[in-house]
């Protein structure tokens, strides 16, 4: 009986102890348990040790994990000093925090700050946490969060993200995001899938894609590393075997690699020989050879050989020894990716992509050439009137372009709205340069008709004076002429082909000018009179046309068009006092190459010069100066074969 009593007592005691414990703290939830298992690493995380912890937390698959991770990254997780448990803390009063249980999400206590310790993961750790969070954000109801998660994957792709990304695809409702997800899934498959067949399939699928991201996914796979060994190793993904002295690998580079890899003695360079000789000078002699004789390499070599034989210098490593050392080794390049099937597919895909990129680049080059041609056409069309039709060499034409550009700049100082200012600037620039042209025609050119060389000189004088005037007024620094906002940016057809809206606008403007020119010359009274005066001024005067008036107006028209061209050119180039002189030679070339007196000739000339310049630049991209040089030489030679230009006037109209 006594024994029974004792047993009962013991049981009661035990029960009491259990109850007492549960009253002090509830049993920890499942997430808390996981956290407590790694309490030390969680409290003091470092970038090197935290990944397994994060993996363990994520692997638990618990519902509150994403919330906890984001709170952790936000530095709002606190550890209670008393029992070491982790809570999400929120400041409710000064220095007092409400603690939320990580599992249940319920507020369990309000505690003073001094009893808590804040977890402060550094940025490296926060990055890892963010990567872990991405897989939860991929299925977030908010599309913006999903888009942000996709961006995070694109920035830092990794093997761990492939599975969650795949899992999130079937449930994706947004078609745009679905497309992005599918694309990123393909790219990740290329880089990280464990199944070789799946990777090869993904590579083949993407091999027609021009996107930069595809090339960025493929290039690291086929990155090569140069290695050296005595014999070719087994089991490595070898890209190529190189023979020193053939192809890209020079003998020197190969031997340097050998020196670095195997520690063989470096090649004896002339500098080393010289240094060794200088160290061993003994009373004006080195190994019995007078120092003064060392103006010859052969003497130096023989003295060095004597030193080496005497053990005073390291042995001479000459070409023969270098070659024999190289012959004992094999040089090979390995792929960064060990899987041969993948690298073969990637190489094939890259070569097919580069073919397509090449095609698209030539398309892009074509667009560039057209836009350059339209700029030359704009610069030259005024000249096509004054020089082509009237035969007046106006070397100040470039300065009219400059005046137009400066007019645009001044208008923008007065009217800050860019769209409105451009709309005002175009007619104003026309008016200003029209007036300038008329004034010049009346004051100077009128007296010099039929004396082209004198006209050239006089207009040169005006050009010099105008340029310096612009410098005096506006200073030497470039002035900005800003395009309206809707002309910013570029029309990107794909990752290779794009053209800026300004260039499209200049192209359209060039087309409009062409139409206006054709209309004025062929359909208007002024055009009729101009053609009449050009062909035979006396006969035209006999018909009642006033040639002086017609000449004045025609010259003004040509100058005015130069002013509008100036506004357009100013939008895309900087406005300086030298703006005009940069274009004057090319403009004359355009008109001369195309054929004087014919607008279609100017168009063809501009097209030819633009294409030519872009083509030469493409052949030698680092050097645009050389492109201009070769272009001018080409034009000089071209004029040999067609001295009157592409479209030559025939018969009486050709004049002379």
What is the per-residue binding string for other proteins in 400-439, x denoting contact by CB under 8 A? ----------------------------------------
Residues in contact with other proteins, counted by CB under 8 A, come to a total of 52
Residues 393 and 386: their CA atoms lie apart, in Å, by 7
Decide: 269 and 322 in contact? Cβ < 8 Å: no
CB-count exposure of residue 422 (10 Å: 0-12, 13-18, 19+):
buried
User: Within 10 A of 450 (CB to CB), how many other CB atoms are there?
Assistant: 8
Q: Could you tell me the smallest distance in angstroms from the CB atom of residue 159 to other proteins?
A: 44
Q: Alpha carbon of 270 to those of 182, 267, 275, 318, 569: distances in Å?
A: 60, 10, 9, 11, 57
Q: Could you tell me the smallest distance in angstroms from the CB atom of residue 228 to other proteins?
A: 30
Helix%, strand%, coil% for the chain, nearest 5: 65, 10, 25
Decide: 34 and 57 in contact? Cβ < 8 Å: yes
Q: Binding residue for other proteins (CB under 8 A) from 292, 320, 414, 542?
A: 292
Give every CB contact of residue 319 below 8 A, 6+ residues apart in sequence. none
Instruction: Read off φ and ψ for residue 45, nearest 5 degrees.
Output: -80, 145
Residues 18 and 23: their CA atoms lie apart, in Å, by 9
Instruction: Read off φ and ψ for residue 473, nearest 5 degrees.
Output: -80, -50
Instruction: Give the DSSP per-residue string, 477-518.
Output: SPBP-PPPGGG-SEEESSSS-EEEHHHHHHHHHHHHHHHHHH
Q: Which stretch binds other proteins (CB under 8 A): 5-13, 314-322, 559-567, 626-634?
A: 626-634
Decide whether 277 or 487 has the Cβ nearer to other proteins.
277
Q: Could you tell me the smallest distance in angstroms from the CB atom of residue 296 to other proteins?
A: 6
Tell me: does residue 476 bind other proteins (CB under 8 A).
no
What is the per-residue binding string for other proteins in 434-473, x denoting contact by CB under 8 A? ----------x--xx---xxx-xxx-xxxxxxxxxx-xx-
Q: Could you tell me the smallest distance in angstroms from the CB atom of residue 456 to other proteins?
A: 6
Q: Binding residue for other proteins (CB under 8 A) from 363, 431, 528, 639?
A: 639
Residues 373 and 392: their CA atoms lie apart, in Å, by 23
Decide: 574 and 480 in contact? Cβ < 8 Å: yes
Tell me: does residue 654 bind other proteins (CB under 8 A).
no
Q: Looking at residues 526 to 585 of the shown chain, list those that interact with other proteins (rule: CB under 8 A).
A: 581, 585
Dig out the tokens for 239 from the structure: 């890209």
Q: Binding residue for other proteins (CB under 8 A) from 1, 20, 197, 625?
A: 625
Q: What single-letter DSSP state applies at residue 28?
A: P
Nearest to 143 by CA among 177, 166, 118: 177
Tell me: does residue 632 bind other proteins (CB under 8 A).
yes
Residues 357 and 350: their CA atoms lie apart, in Å, by 10
Residues 578 and 352: their CA atoms lie apart, in Å, by 46
Decide: 590 and 605 in contact? Cβ < 8 Å: yes
Q: Which stretch binds other proteins (CB under 8 A): 228-236, 274-282, 347-355, 487-495?
A: 274-282
Tell me: does residue 637 bind other proteins (CB under 8 A).
yes
Decide whether 373 or 392 has the Cβ nearer to other proteins.
392
Q: Could you tell me the smallest distance in angstroms from the CB atom of residue 618 to other proteins?
A: 17
Decide whether 227 or 613 has the Cβ nearer to other proteins.
613
Q: Binding residue for other proteins (CB under 8 A) from 277, 375, 425, 562?
A: 277
Pairing mode, if any, of strands 116-118 and 107-112?
Answer: unpaired
Q: What single-letter DSSP state applies at residue 384?
A: I
Decide whether 128 or 604 has the Cβ nearer to other proteins.
604
Instruction: Give the DSSP per-residue string, 50-102.
Output: HHHHHHHHHHT--TTHHHHHHHHHTT-EEEETTT--EEEEEEEETTEEEEEET
Q: Binding residue for other proteins (CB under 8 A) from 61, 247, 643, 651?
A: 643
Tell me: does residue 345 bind other proteins (CB under 8 A).
no
Q: Could you tell me the smallest distance in angstroms from the CB atom of residue 391 to other proteins?
A: 9
Pairing mode, if any, of strands 77-80 and 285-286?
Answer: unpaired
Q: Could you tell me the smallest distance in angstroms from the CB atom of residue 305 to other proteins?
A: 16
Helix (H, G, I), strand (E, B) or coil at 318: coil
Decide whether 533 or 627 has the Cβ nearer to other proteins.
627
Decide whether 379 or 506 has the Cβ nearer to other proteins.
379
Q: Which stretch binds other proteins (CB under 8 A): 61-69, 180-188, 532-540, 633-641?
A: 633-641
Residues 301 and 315: their CA atoms lie apart, in Å, by 12
Q: Could you tell me the smallest distance in angstroms from the CB atom of residue 206 to other proteins?
A: 40
Instruction: Read off φ and ψ for residue 139, nearest 5 degrees.
Output: -110, 15
Q: Could you tell me the smallest distance in angstroms from the CB atom of residue 598 to other proteins?
A: 16
Helix (H, G, I), strand (E, B) or coil at 290: strand
Q: Which stretch binds other proteins (CB under 8 A): 45-53, 173-181, 296-304, 431-439?
A: 296-304
Residues 548 and 285: their CA atoms lie apart, in Å, by 93
Decide whether 151 or 636 has the Cβ nearer to other proteins.
636
Q: Could you tell me the smallest distance in angstroms from the CB atom of residue 381 to other proteins?
A: 18
Q: Binding residue for other proteins (CB under 8 A) from 636, 653, 654, 655?
A: 636
Tell me: does residue 383 bind other proteins (CB under 8 A).
no
Decide whether 247 or 643 has the Cβ nearer to other proteins.
643
Decide whether 433 or 587 has the Cβ nearer to other proteins.
587
Tell me: does residue 294 bind other proteins (CB under 8 A).
yes
Nearest to 188 by CA among 203, 177, 168, 175: 203
Residues 184 and 179: their CA atoms lie apart, in Å, by 9
Q: Could you tell me the smallest distance in angstroms from the CB atom of residue 236 to other proteins?
A: 39
Q: Could you tell me the smallest distance in angstroms from the CB atom of residue 260 to other proteins?
A: 26
Decide whether 150 or 591 has the Cβ nearer to other proteins.
591
Q: In the chain, what is the greatest distance between 2 CA atoms, to the nearest angstrom?
A: 153
Q: Binding residue for other proteins (CB under 8 A) from 623, 653, 654, 655?
A: 623
What is the per-residue binding string for other proteins in 577-606, x denoting contact by CB under 8 A? ----x---x--xx--x--------------
Q: Which residues bind other proteins (CB under 8 A)?
A: 274, 277-278, 281, 291-292, 294-297, 300, 393, 444, 447-448, 452-454, 456-458, 460-469, 471-472, 581, 585, 588-589, 592, 623, 625-626, 628-629, 632-633, 635-637, 639-641, 643
């Amino acid at each position: 009986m006594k024994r029974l009593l004792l047993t009962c007592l013991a049981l009661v005691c035990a029960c009491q102890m259990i109850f007492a414990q549960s009253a002090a703290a509830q049993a920890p939830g499942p997430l808390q348990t996981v956290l407590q298992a790694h309490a030390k690493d969680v409290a003091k995380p470092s970038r090197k040790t935290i990944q397994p912890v994060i993996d363990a937390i994520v692997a638990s698959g618990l519902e509150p994990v994403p919330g906890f991770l984001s709170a952790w990254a936000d530095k709002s997780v606190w550890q209670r000093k008393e029992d070491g448990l982790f809570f999400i803390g929120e400041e409710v009063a000064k220095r007092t925090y409400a603690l939320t249980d990580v599992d249940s999400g319920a507020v369990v206590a309000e505690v003073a700050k001094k009893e808590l310790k804040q977890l402060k993961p550094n940025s490296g750790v926060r990055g890892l946490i963010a990567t872990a969070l991405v897989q939860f954000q991929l299925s977030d109801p908010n599309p913006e969060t999903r888009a942000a998660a996709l961006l995070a994957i694109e920035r830092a792709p990794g093997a761990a993200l492939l599975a969650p990304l795949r899992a999130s695809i079937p449930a994706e409702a947004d078609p745009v995001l679905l497309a992005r997800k599918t694309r990123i899934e393909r790219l990740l498959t290329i880089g990280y899938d464990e199944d070789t067949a799946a990777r090869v399939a993904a590579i083949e699928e993407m091999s027609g894609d021009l996107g930069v991201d595809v090339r960025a996914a493929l290039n690291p796979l086929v990155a090569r590393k140069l290695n050296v060994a005595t014999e070719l190793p087994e089991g490595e993904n070898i890209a190529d075997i190189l023979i020193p002295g053939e192809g890209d690998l020079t003998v020197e580079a190969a031997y340097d690699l050998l020196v670095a890899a195997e520690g063989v003695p470096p090649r004896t360079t002339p500098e080393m020989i010289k240094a060794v000789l200088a160290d061993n000078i003994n009373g004006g002699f080195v190994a019995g050879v007078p120092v003064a004789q060392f103006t010859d390499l052969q003497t130096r070599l023989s003295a060095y050989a004597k030193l080496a034989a005497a053990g005073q210098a390291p042995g001479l490593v000459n070409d023969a020894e270098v070659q024999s050392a190289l012959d004992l080794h094999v040089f090979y390049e390995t792929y960064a990716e060990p899987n041969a099937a993948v690298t073969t597919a990637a190489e094939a895909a890259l070569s097919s992509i580069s073919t397509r990129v090449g095609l698209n680049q030539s398309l892009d080059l074509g667009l560039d050439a057209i836009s350059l041609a339209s700029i030359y056409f704009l610069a030259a069309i005024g000249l096509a009137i004054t020089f082509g039709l009237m035969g007046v060499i106006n070397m100040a034409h470039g300065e009219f372009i400059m005046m137009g550009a400066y007019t645009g700049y001044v208008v923008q100082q007065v009217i800050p709205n860019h769209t409105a200012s451009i709309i005002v600037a175009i007619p104003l620039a026309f008016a200003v340069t029209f007036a300038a042209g008329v004034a010049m025609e009346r004051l100077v050119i009128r007296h010099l008709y039929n004396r082209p060389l004198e006209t050239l000189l006089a207009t040169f004088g005006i050009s010099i004076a105008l340029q310096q005037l612009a410098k005096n007024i506006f200073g030497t620094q470039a002035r900005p002429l800003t395009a309206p906002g809707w002309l910013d940016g570029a029309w990107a057809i794909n990752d290779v082909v794009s053209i800026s809206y300004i260039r499209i606008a200049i192209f359209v403007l060039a087309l409009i000018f062409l139409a206006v020119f054709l209309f004025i010359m062929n359909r208007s009274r002024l055009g009729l009179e101009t053609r009449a005066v050009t062909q035979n001024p006396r006969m035209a005067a006999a018909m009642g046309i006033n040639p002086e008036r017609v000449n004045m107006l025609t010259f003004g028209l040509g100058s005015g068009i130069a002013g509008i061209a100036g506004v357009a050119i100013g939008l895309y180039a900087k406005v300086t006092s030298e703006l005009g002189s940069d274009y004057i030679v090319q403009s004359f070339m355009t008109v001369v190459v195309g054929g004087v007196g014919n607008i279609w000739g100017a168009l063809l000339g501009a097209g030819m010069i633009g294409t030519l310049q872009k083509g030469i630049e493409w052949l030698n991209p680092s050097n645009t100066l050389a492109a201009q040089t070769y272009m001018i030489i080409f034009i000089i030679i071209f004029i040999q074969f067609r001295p009157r230009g592409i479209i030559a006037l025939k018969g009486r109209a050709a004049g002379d």
